Amino acid sequence: MGRVIMMVVSSTWLAYAVSAILTGILVIAVFTIQEASLLIMIAAVLASIAIAAAFIIILPRTVVATFTVDELLVSGKRGGFSLPRDAVVNNNVVCIMRTRWVLKLRVTHGSIDYTIPLSKWQYNRLVNKLREHWGWVPPECWW
């Protein structure tokens, strides 16, 4: 495996939103509640919600696509694979799905088909890194 040039990990904005909301509730509770027993009870409830959210949101959705100088490495819950750079470039393994509001990296090889949401910043960074190191830009998906 060569030097890693870009790693794209599927994540969901919902995980970040849940953690921000729980942190906000805890901060408000700390500054407004005077009774220690009530504060401990609220902290326990928030901790249990955070643990449940982690199991529901984060664990089953992890897909990682790692672009190195020489190859593409993909791993996820349905399996993984690695392909040399030339196979990725020539065989339409990677493409970008673009809608009005959403950008997604689609990686397809054999029976494995993963879709990873991208922010605009991640998309620009991915395109720039692949253009620089591979001399290639992922095409838009046509299927």
Give the model confidence (pLDDT) of 58-113 as tens digits.
Answer: 555 678 899 999 999 998 877 889 999 999 999 889 999 988 888 999 999 888 88
Residue 142 inside a domain? The answer is no
**Alpha carbons 42 and 78: distance in angstroms, whole number:** 38
Are residues 66 and 118 part of one domain? Answer: yes
Are residues 88 and 54 part of one domain? Answer: no
Are residues 66 and 45 part of one domain? Answer: no
Smallest CA-to-CA distance from 83 within 32, 132, 18, 134 is with 134
Are residues 72 and 41 part of one domain? Answer: no
pLDDT value of position 63: 84
Structure tokens at 100: 């009005």
Ramachandran angles phi, psi of 133, nearest 5°: -95, -30
Q: Among the ranges 5-19, 46-60, 66-80, which has the highest mean pLDDT value?
A: 66-80
Q: What is the mean pLDDT of the chain?
A: 83
Range of the domain at 76: 4-10+62-134
113 contact partners, CB below 8 Å, separation of at least 6: 106, 107
10 in Cβ contact with 61 (< 8 Å): yes
pLDDT band at 13 (very low <50, low <70, confident <90, very high): low
Residue 141 inside a domain? The answer is no
Count of domains observed in the chain: 2
